[in-house]
Amino acid sequence: MAKDANPDPGWYYNTRTNQVEHLERARGIDLLGPYPDEATARRALDIAKERTRQADAEDD
């Protein structure tokens, strides 16, 4: 992976590797985020589930 001269300071959750990434990241298709910090990025799947639950409730 090439070094990015202007890295995004956000934190991301990689759904392919189940790892949190910062500065150097994988392909965008594999990522959830950005999140403001590492702890929030680690909760990415729970956050996505909650947002989906809320959206489904609004659709009903």
Q: What predicted TM-score, i.e. pTM, was given to this entire model?
A: 0.78
- Assess if residue 2 is contained within a domain: no
What the block records as the tokens of 7 is 């890295």
- Assess if residue 15 is contained within a domain: yes
What the block records as the tokens of 34 is 């950005």
Each residue's pLDDT expressed in tens, for the chain with a length of 60 residues: 556 676 678 999 999 999 999 988 888 999 999 999 999 999 999 999 999 999 999 998
Number of separate domains in the chain? 1
- Assess if residue 41 is contained within a domain: yes
3-state SS record for 1-60: CCCCCCCCCCEEEECCCCEEEECCCCCHHHEEEEECCHHHHHCHHHHHHHHHHHHHHHHC
Instruction: Note down the domain range covering 18.
Output: 11-59
Virtual torsion, Cα 8, 16, 44, 3, nearest 10 deg? -10
What the block records as the tokens of 56 is 């489904």
